[in-house]
């Protein structure tokens, strides 16, 4: 990775334990032209920060006021030459400045089959509980571009799993995590290819 101009630098935004971030970091560890260059979190005690530290990836803890009423860290990201943003369990809605600074260059993963079971407040176990309550026979993951509405942009990829009548939210969460861990990094690679037109 000597020629830094041909390397796409990705920032992963995450608020939680970061199991997806870990998989993403592992997937791109020795990649030719994609580098996970930054982990961004709104929670100073998020598990994902330890994952970044262990992998020797710089992290940035963001502060609410600056994110929503400042410039949403756009300057910081551009200064670090971040070219693509991945939301992997990031719980704040992105401010418009950030979406405009990265048009078609931000993707999110949602733990259900959008357009069902998405939107404000639909994250983590709330999603799985809603899926079970609705007696869905299937759930899955959706990877989509990010626009100004929660869980709304164009879907790039979905994968499905069966919801058994006996499934609890915890059992379903495990199935969904397995799908996320298998598919997210390869789909990031595809989306990145589209923006750099390789």
Active-site residues: which are they?
Answer: 110
Closer CB to ligand GRF, residue 7 or residue 185? 185
Closer CB to ligand GRF, residue 19 or residue 71? 19
DSSP string, 130-196: HHHHTT-SEEEEEEEE--SSTT-SPEEEEEEEE--TT--HHHHHHHHHHHHHHHHHHHHHHHHHHHH
- Kindly state the smallest distance separating residue 3's Cβ from ligand GRF, in Å: 31
Binding site residues, ligand GRF, CB under 6 A: 14, 16-21, 88-89, 109-111, 123, 176, 180
Closer CB to ligand GRF, residue 99 or residue 185? 185
91 Cβ contact list (under 8 Å, min separation 6) = 15, 16, 42, 123
- Kindly state the smallest distance separating residue 55's Cβ from ligand GRF, in Å: 14
Position closest to ligand GRF via CB: 89
- Kindly state the smallest distance separating residue 177's Cβ from ligand GRF, in Å: 6
Distance CA 108, CA 12 (A): 10
């Amino acid at each position: 990775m000597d020629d830094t101009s041909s390397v796409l630098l990705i920032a992963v935004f995450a608020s939680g334990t970061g199991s997806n971030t870990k998989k993403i970091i592992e997937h791109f560890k020795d990649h030719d032209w994609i580098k996970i260059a930054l982990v961004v979190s709104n929670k100073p005690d998020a598990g994902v920060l330890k994952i970044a530290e262990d992998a020797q990836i710089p992290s940035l803890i963001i502060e609410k006021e600056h994110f929503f009423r400042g410039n949403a860290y756009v300057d910081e990201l551009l200064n670090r030459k971040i070219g693509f943003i991945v939301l992997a369990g990031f719980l704040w809605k992105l401010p418009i400045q950030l979406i405009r600074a990265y048009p078609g260059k931000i993707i999110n993963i949602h733990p259900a089959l959008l357009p069902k079971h998405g939107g404000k407040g639909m994250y983590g176990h709330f999603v799985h509980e809603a899926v079970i309550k609705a007696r869905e026979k299937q759930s899955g993951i959706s990877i989509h571009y990010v626009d100004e509405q929660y869980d709304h942009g164009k879907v790039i990829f979905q994968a499905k799993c069966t919801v058994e009548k006996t499934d609890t939210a915890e059992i379903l969460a495990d199935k969904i995590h397995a799908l996320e861990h298998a598919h997210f990094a390869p789909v990031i690679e595809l989306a990145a290819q589209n923006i750099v037109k390789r």
